[in-house]
């Protein structure tokens, strides 16, 4: 039974696995362990033909994301991108692979630059390979992608703006035009659906989900900085774009230096008053008690915004970004109430490290839905 189950699973390899889109796709495939087997890839495979051939022969689907986006010399971009495609095609031919190759091209295909030319020629090379082999090919035209973990000054102007604002730099708008955008989570959903379909498309345009002026995006990001980063206020988030943009912004905050954030305590003869959260949107507030030595959590979210506030007792809150090793430890105490917000794609837990009951208040931006919990269990 186990062997049959493994046989029906789709073996997926991702060139550029450690890149912006690649890590999101790799992590998302991991949410479906009964459906996909992830074939690990490292960029060093391109310099060793035998290892590259072994990688290719182990894949039912290869998502080719590895590419150079920026360089001072456009010719270097062109030669690098076309060269990687030729190396991959060489491995496909040597192994007589009939894999489904999914290629991330760009809306810049028809622009007068060598990056766009490298994408267009690369797509044509893959089409020719598919015609001569038993393989399938899908060439995806992808708009501007934004989301958490993109590299500033490289992947997206959104990444650059987030990095600059969080580091108290003032972003500059070079051209304030309308930009068609797709959130990396929505792009990954489209990629997963294409993997599942097992059908080729020489040219498939991924629809943009949002269109904004650069200045409009910057205005929202400035609001996030002023309200959330500087004042601890959860801003009003009117739609999915603003939620995705806010989660993107939060991903560039250095959690190690920013958290925990101490509350302001107002004390008089009656006792103490502490304001836990200021919200410009709704959500769900709850509290828990935890007996000494017990740990809660050990899960992560891919879209939810969540705050843990310790109001009584002693606690250790731990965070770890999925598929990384570094663990962030935050020690909180009811004697100095503070909070930690949970970034998306960070598994997190809270442990009672004291000798009395731990009291914690939780806020999350959406009601719990048993059918769509967005909660994935993984030990910190």
Buried b / exposed e along 244-279 (16+ C-beta atoms within 10 A)? bbbbbbbbbbebeeebbeebeeeeeeeeeebeebee
pLDDT at 199 exceeding the cut of 80: yes
- Kindly report the backbone phi and psi dihedral angles of residue 295, in degrees, each rounded to the nearest multiple of 5, phi listed first: -115, 135
Residue 2's pLDDT band (boundaries 50, 70, 90)?
A: very low
CA separation for the pair 269, 115 (Å, rounded):
68
Confidence of residue 6 (pLDDT cuts 50, 70, 90): low
Q: How confident is the model at residue 202 (pLDDT cuts 50, 70, 90)?
A: confident
pLDDT > 80? residue 4: no
Q: Is the pLDDT of residue 87 over 60?
A: yes
| C-alpha–C-alpha distance, residues 333 and 316, integer Å | 9
Question: Residue 98: CB partners within 8 Å, gap ≥ 6?
Answer: 133, 134, 135, 136
pLDDT value for 232? 94
Q: What is the pLDDT of residue 1?
A: 41
- Tens digits of residue pLDDT in 290-324: 999 999 999 999 999 999 999 999 999 999 999 99
Does 215 or 112 have the greater pLDDT score? 215
CA atoms within 13 A on the CB side of 322: 26
Q: How many CB atoms lie within 10 A of CB 153?
A: 11
Per-residue pLDDT, 72: 84
Contacts of residue 175, Cβ cutoff 8 Å, sequence gap at least 6: 214
| Coil/strand/helix, residue 333 | strand
Higher-pLDDT residue of 259, 111: 259
pLDDT at 70: 82
Question: For residue range 262-287, what is the model confidence (pLDDT) as tens digits?
Answer: 999 999 898 888 999 999 989 999 99
Write out the two tokens for 56.
């290719």
| Dihedral sign, Cα of residue 371, residue 373, residue 374, residue 380 | negative
C-alpha count within 13 angstroms, C-beta hemisphere, residue 252: 25
Structural domains for the chain: 2-213 (3.40.50.720), 217-250 (no CATH), 255-377 (2.60.120.10)
d(CA 135, CA 104): 17
Start-to-end CA distance of the chain, whole Å, equals 32
- Look at residue 201 and tell me whether its pLDDT is greater than 80: yes
Q: What is the mean pLDDT of the chain?
A: 95
Distance CA 254, CA 154 (A): 19
- The residue-averaged pLDDT of 205-218 equals 96
Q: Determine the Cα–Cα distance for residues 128 and 260; give it in Å rounded to an integer.
A: 55
Average pLDDT on 355-365 reads 97
Question: Which pLDDT belongs to residue 198?
Answer: 82
Contact 21, 187 (CB under 8 A): yes
| DSSP per-residue letters across 236-283 | P--SHHHHHHHHHHHTTS-HHHH-SEEPPEEEETTEEEE---EESS--
Task: Answer whether residue 329 shows pLDDT above 60.
Answer: yes
Q: Give pLDDT tens digits for 179-188.
A: 999 999 999 9
| 3 pLDDT higher than 80 | no
Do the Cβ atoms of 300 and 376 come closer than 8 Å?
yes
Pairing of strands 314-321, 271-274: unpaired
pLDDT tens by residue, 118-164: 999 999 999 999 999 988 999 999 999 999 999 999 999 999 999 99
Residue 76 contacts residue 118 (beta carbons within 8 Å)? no
Q: Work out whether the CA dihedral 29, 31, 36, 41 comes out positive or negative.
A: positive
Q: HSE of 321 in the Cβ direction (CA atoms, 13 Å)?
A: 11
Reduce the DSSP state of residue 358 to 3 states and report it.
Answer: strand
């Amino acid at each position: 039974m186990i062997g049959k189950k493994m046989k029906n699973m789709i073996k997926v390899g991702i060139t550029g696995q450690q890149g912006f889109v690649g890590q999101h796709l790799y992590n998302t495939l991991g949410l479906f362990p009964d459906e996909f087997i992830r074939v690990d890839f490292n960029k060093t495979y391109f310099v060793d033909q035998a290892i590259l051939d072994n990688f290719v022969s182990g894949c039912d689907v290869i998502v080719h994301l590895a590419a150079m986006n920026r360089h001072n010399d456009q010719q270097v971009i062109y030669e690098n991108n076309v060269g990687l495609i030729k190396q991959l095609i060489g491995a496909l031919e040597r192994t007589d692979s009939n894999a489904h190759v999914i290629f991330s091209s760009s809306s810049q295909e028809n622009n007068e630059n060598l990056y766009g030319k490298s994408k267009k020629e690369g797509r044509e090379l893959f089409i020719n390979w598919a015609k001569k082999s038993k393989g399938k090919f899908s060439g995806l035209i992808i708009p501007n992608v934004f989301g958490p973990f993109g590299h500033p000054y490289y992947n997206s102007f959104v990444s650059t703006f987030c990095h600059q604002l969080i580091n108290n730099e003032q972003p500059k708008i070079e051209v304030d035009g309308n930009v068609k955008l797709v959130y990396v989570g929505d792009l990954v959903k489209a990629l997963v659906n294409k993997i599942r379909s097992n059908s080729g498309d020489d040219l498939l345009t991924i629809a943009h989900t949002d269109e904004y002026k650069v200045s409009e995006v910057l205005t929202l990001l400035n609001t996030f900085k002023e309200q959330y980063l500087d004042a601890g206020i959860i801003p009003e988030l009117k739609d999915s774009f603003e939620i995705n943009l806010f989660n993107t912004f939060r991903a560039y905050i250095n959690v190690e230096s920013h958290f925990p954030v101490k509350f302001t305590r107002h004390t008089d003869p009656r006792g103490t008053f502490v304001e836990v959260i200021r919200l410009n949107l709704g959500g769900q507030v709850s509290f828990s008690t935890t007996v000494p030595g017990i740990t809660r959590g050990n899960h992560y979210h891919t879209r939810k915004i969540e705050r843990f506030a310790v109001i009584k007792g002693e606690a250790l809150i731990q965070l770890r970004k999925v598929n990384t090793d570094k663990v962030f430890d935050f020690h909180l105490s009811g004697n100095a109430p503070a909070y930690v917000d949970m970034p998306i794609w960070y598994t997190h837990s809270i442990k009672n490290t004291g000798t009395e009951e731990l009291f914690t208040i939780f806020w999350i931006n959406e009601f719990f839905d048993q059918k769509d919990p967005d909660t994935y269990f993984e030990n910190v």
